[in-house]
Amino acid sequence: MLKRKYLSFLVDNHEGVLTRISSLFRQRGFNIDSLTVSATNDGSLSRVTIGMSGDDEEIKQIINQTKKLYEYEGMFEIDPNDSLIRELLLVKVAANEHIRSSLLELATIYKAKIIDVSDGSMVFELTGKPIKLDSYIENLKPYKILEMCRTGATAMQRGKVKLSK
């Protein structure tokens, strides 16, 4: 059975690391659903958070392959029940004076921020769990979405850090 899984790797912060990680996925035919790379509190390390779907064996295989990279420093298996997972969405919607109030109402329900109002469009910013962003986008479908961009998930475990080497 396919599971949605988030893995967060600590790797040495230098050029080419992301290419080597993504190549591991490509070589084994795994799809990356979401990917973020960020600095950490230690300037020598980067954090790579990958969202993927796969069965237990596939997930175990990609974890073991990633551990073989010389840049690998550790990994967090993100448990959705014990972690904070967030994405950022920017979406530009066609908006004339007749539908602005309904778009504002929808934004209020989802706690989206209006970050731009122009002649004929509005831009909203929403941060939250991936399922929340999916739901917001679904509710915007009756309107005309002009542009949309979405980050990959970033995640952090609650409480004590459980780093696996």
The pLDDT tens digits for 79-109 are 888 889 999 999 999 999 999 999 999 999 9
pLDDT score recorded for residue 137 = 98
What is the per-residue pLDDT for 36?
92
| Second CATH level (architecture) for the domain 3-78 | 2-Layer Sandwich (3.30)
Q: Which of 58, 40, 56 is nearest to 48 (CA)?
A: 40
Is pLDDT above 80 for 164?
A: no
Residue of 165, 7, 162, 1 whose CA lies nearest to 72: 165
Q: What are the residue ranges spanned by the domains of the chain?
A: 3-78, 84-154
Q: What is the pTM of this model?
A: 0.81
> What type of residue is 123?
V
pLDDT tops 90 at residue 162: no
85-94, 117-126, 151-160: the lowest-pLDDT one: 151-160
Which CATH number describes the domain made up of 84-154?
3.30.70.1150
